[in-house]
Structure 1
Amino acid sequence: MADVNTDKKIPVPDFQDDSFPVYQQDTLSVGATHEVNMEEYRATVPLWKRVWQHSLTQMILLSIQAFCGPAMSDAITGLGGGGLATPKVSNISTAIRYAMIAIVCLMGGPLVNKIGVKWALVLGSLSFPIQGSAYYCNSKFGNQWYLILSGAISGVGTACWYVAEAGAIMTLAPSGARGKYLALWIVSRNLGQLVGGAINMSKNHHPGAEGGITPDTYIAFVIIECLALPFALLISPFEKVVRSDGTKIHMAEALSTKQEFKRILKTVTSSLIVLSSIWAFWSFFYSGSWSTYLGVYFSVRVRALSSLISPFFCIIGCFALGFILDMKNLSQRRRAQIGLYTVAILNVGVYIWSIIMQVKFNRHNPGKIDWSDHLYASAFLPYFFVQTTGPMSQSYMYWLLSSFATDAQENVRNGAVFRCIEAVGQAVAYGMNTQTKSSPLIGFCVTFGLLGASMLPMIMLVNTTPDRIPADVIAEAQDTARQKIEGTA
Structure 2
Amino acid sequence: MAFGAVEAAGTLVGSGTADAGDEPKSPPTSRFRYNSPLVQVSLIGLVCFCCPGMFNALSGMGGGGQVDHDAANNANTALYTTFAIFGLLGGGIYNVLGPRLTLFAGCSTYILYAGSFLYYNHHSQQTFVIVSGGILGVGAGLLWAGQGAIMTSYPPPSRKGTYISIFWSIFNLGGVIGGLIPFVLNYHRTQSASVNDGTYIAFMCFMSAGTLLSLAILPPSRIIRDDGSRATVVTYSSVSTEGLEILKLFANWKMLLIIPAAWGSNFFYSYQFNNVNGIIFSLRTKGLNNVFYWGAQMIGSLAIGYLLDFSFRSRRKRGLVGISVVAVLGTGIWAGGLANQLRYTDGKWPYKLDFKDSGSSYAGPFVLYFSYGLLDAMFQSLCYWVIGALADDSETLSRYSGFYKGVQSAGAAIAWQVDEHKTPLVSQLIVNWALTSISYPLLAFLIVMAVKDDVSAARGKDLEEKTPEP
Percent identity, aligned pairs only? 25
**8 Å CA contact retained: 1:332, 1:467:** yes
Q: CA deviation at 1:471?
A: 8.0
Asked whether 1:380 is paired with 2:393, we answer: no
Match of 1:295 in 2: 278
Letter in 1 for 2:293: S
In 2, Cα distance between the equivalents of 1:331 and 1:50? 28
Q: CA deviation at 1:239?
A: 0.8
Q: CA deviation at 1:36?
A: 3.4
**8 Å CA contact retained: 1:278, 1:453:** yes
In 2, Cα distance between the equivalents of 1:207 and 1:151? 27
Residues 470 and 147 (structure 1 numbering): CA distance in 2 closer, same or farther, change over 3 Å?
farther
SS of 1:225's equivalent?
Answer: helix
Deviations 1:5-31 (A, max 9, x none): xxxxxxxxxxxxxxxxxxxxxxx9894
Match of 1:3 in 2: none
In 2, Cα distance between the equivalents of 1:398 and 1:477? 20
In 2, Cα distance between the equivalents of 1:231 and 1:352? 41
Match of 1:6 in 2: none
SS of 1:454's equivalent?
Answer: helix
SS of 1:463's equivalent?
Answer: helix
**8 Å CA contact retained: 2:312, 2:318:** no
Equivalent runs, 1:401-416 vs 2, <5 Å = 401-416=387-402
SS of 1:53's equivalent?
Answer: coil
In 1, Cα distance between the equivalents of 2:349 and 2:32? 59
Q: CA deviation at 1:55?
A: 1.2
Match of 1:486 in 2: none
Residues 350 and 30 (structure 1 numbering): CA distance in 2 closer, same or farther, change over 3 Å?
closer
Which structure has the greater CA radius of gyration? 1
Residues 106 and 143 (structure 1 numbering): CA distance in 2 closer, same or farther, change over 3 Å?
same
Residues 29 and 111 (structure 1 numbering): CA distance in 2 closer, same or farther, change over 3 Å?
closer
Match of 1:433 in 2: 419
Letter in 2 for 1:146: F
In 2, Cα distance between the equivalents of 1:159 and 1:476? 25
In 2, Cα distance between the equivalents of 1:452 and 1:337? 15
| TM-score after normalising by structure 1 | 0.85
| Equivalent residues, number | 444
Match of 1:86 in 2: 68
Asked whether 1:66 is paired with 2:51, we answer: no
Deviations 1:412-454 (A, max 9, x none): 01001011011111111111111228x5322111101112222
Match of 1:153 in 2: 135
**8 Å CA contact retained: 1:34, 1:476:** no
Q: CA deviation at 1:191?
A: 0.6
Asked whether 1:201 is paired with 2:164, we answer: no
In 2, Cα distance between the equivalents of 1:329 and 1:394? 21
Deviations 1:20-69 (A, max 9, x none): xxxxxxxx989423753326x66xxxx9x982211111111101100011
Q: Which runs of 5+ in 2 are unaligned?
A: 1-15, 465-470
| TM-score after normalising by structure 2 | 0.89
SS of 1:205's equivalent?
Answer: coil
Q: Choose from 109, 113, 128 the match for 2:95.
A: 113
SS of 2:310's equivalent?
Answer: coil
Match of 1:346 in 2: 329
Q: Choose from 441, 445, 449 the match for 2:430.
A: 445
SS of 2:225's equivalent?
Answer: coil
In 1, Cα distance between the equivalents of 2:98 and 2:120? 35
Deviations 1:262-297 (A, max 9, x none): 211112221111011101101111111111122222
Match of 1:366 in 2: 350
SS of 2:342's equivalent?
Answer: helix
Letter in 1 for 2:281: F
Residues 29 and 235 (structure 1 numbering): CA distance in 2 closer, same or farther, change over 3 Å?
closer
Residues 209 and 254 (structure 1 numbering): CA distance in 2 closer, same or farther, change over 3 Å?
same
Q: Choose from 84, 104, 113 the match for 1:122.
A: 104
Residues 34 and 179 (structure 1 numbering): CA distance in 2 closer, same or farther, change over 3 Å?
farther
Letter in 1 for 2:219: P
SS of 2:54's equivalent?
Answer: helix
In 2, Cα distance between the equivalents of 1:406 and 1:176? 11
Asked whether 1:422 is paired with 2:404, we answer: no
In 1, Cα distance between the equivalents of 2:166 and 2:391? 21
What is the aligned-residue RMSD (CA, Å)? 2.4
Stretch of structure 1 that moved more, 273-282 or 153-162? 153-162
Stretch of structure 1 that moved more, 462-471 or 415-424? 462-471
Match of 2:3 in 1: none
Equivalent runs, 1:19-418 vs 2, <5 Å = 31-33=19-21, 36-38=24-26, 51-206=33-188, 208-293=190-275, 294-327=277-310, 329-362=312-345, 365-371=349-355, 372-373=357-358, 374-418=360-404
Q: CA deviation at 1:470?
A: 6.1
Stretch of structure 1 that moved more, 442-451 or 408-417? 442-451
Residues 368 and 471 (structure 1 numbering): CA distance in 2 closer, same or farther, change over 3 Å?
farther
In 1, Cα distance between the equivalents of 2:151 and 2:175? 20
Q: CA deviation at 1:328?
A: 7.0
Q: CA deviation at 1:256?
A: 3.5
SS of 2:232's equivalent?
Answer: coil
Letter in 1 for 2:338: I
In 1, Cα distance between the equivalents of 2:227 and 2:190? 55
Letter in 1 for 2:251: T
SS of 1:362's equivalent?
Answer: coil
